[in-house]
Amino acid sequence: MNDTVNIRIHEGICHVEMARPEKKNALTAAMYATMADALAAAEKDPAVRVILISGSGGSFTAGNDLADFLATPPMDDSAPVFRFIKGFSELEKPFVAAVEGVAVGVGTTLLLHCDLAYAASDTRFALPFANLGLTPEAASSLLLPLRTGHARAAELLMLGEVFSAQTALDLGLVNTLLPEGQVLDHAFERCRKLVAQPAASVRLTKQLLKRSQQALIAETMHAEAEVFRERLISPEAKEAFAAFFEKRKPDFSKFS
């Protein structure tokens, strides 16, 4: 545990809470490292039967803290962000999300790896990788078109526009929409039902559900990570990041 991630284990549930509410839970390398370690520990802990992830202060996560991200860019597989992504993509135990406020970048792509996800009806989602001169991660270039169809996935990933909780529900990214303030309680109730189920049956059911995609997910994540690292030092990414910090609109017209 650190002061920006809370880890609690109770009644068979490992609750991972992103706890940087003043920044809408924007993620730092230290937060990614803590969460990656927590997922690995939860997988090995026989007392844990379900893993729940949420955010504090009415937000899920605003995605990467860009200043921290640029100070410690993820240049190889040992980077905390890649360890976290690999960790949740390979979980054998059920993975549940309670989503409120904003879910940006990995806050949306991780939902493609959740077994159950619940969101507040006013949550806003976004996949702004292309907007930042970057490319998709967490096998979203594979899983999103499988979930939504190519045309919808292309719109979400290429334009990077904010979309609503209702759209997330319609696209199959979340199970249910709930009123603001009720999401976490509902997610805990679902987790308790999973805890009461035969643990081995639940794990094997998840394994079978993912069996046809698992190798392809790993292959896609590796390919995405290679391209992502290249894009981090691209002229477009440099312009996007500079524009963000200078609070101006980026100009990509001189790049091809």
How many structural domains compose the chain?
1
Q: In this structure, what is the dihedral angle of CA atoms 209, 214, 216, 219, given to the nearest 10 degrees?
A: 160
Domain with 76, as residue range(s), is: 1-179+198-256
How confident is the model at residue 2, as a pLDDT?
Answer: 74
How far, rounded to the nearest angstrom, does the alpha carbon of residue 10 sit from its chain's CA centroid?
23
Burial of 8 (0-12, 13-18, 19+ CB in 10 A): exposed
Residue 186 lies in a domain: no
17 beta partners: 6, 54
Residue 175 within a domain: yes
CATH number at residue 24: 3.90.226.10
pLDDT value at residue 147: 96
In a domain, residue 66? The reply is: yes
Q: Is residue 173 part of a domain?
A: yes
In a domain, 191, yes or no: no
Residue 121 lies in a domain: yes
Single-letter residue type at 101 = G
Asked if residue 117 belongs to a domain, the reply is yes
- Residue 256 has what pLDDT? 85
Which amino acid, residue 77? D
pLDDT at 1: 55
Residue at 189 is within a domain: no
Distance of CA 108 to the CA centre of its chain: 5
| pLDDT tens by residue, the chain, 256 residues | 578 999 999 999 999 999 999 999 999 999 999 999 999 999 999 999 999 999 999 999 999 999 999 999 998 999 999 999 999 999 999 999 999 999 999 999 999 999 999 999 999 999 999 999 999 999 999 999 999 999 999 999 999 999 999 999 999 999 999 999 999 999 999 999 999 999 999 999 999 999 999 999 999 999 999 999 999 999 999 999 999 999 999 999 999 8
- What is the pLDDT at residue 104? 98
Has this prediction a pTM greater than 0.85? yes
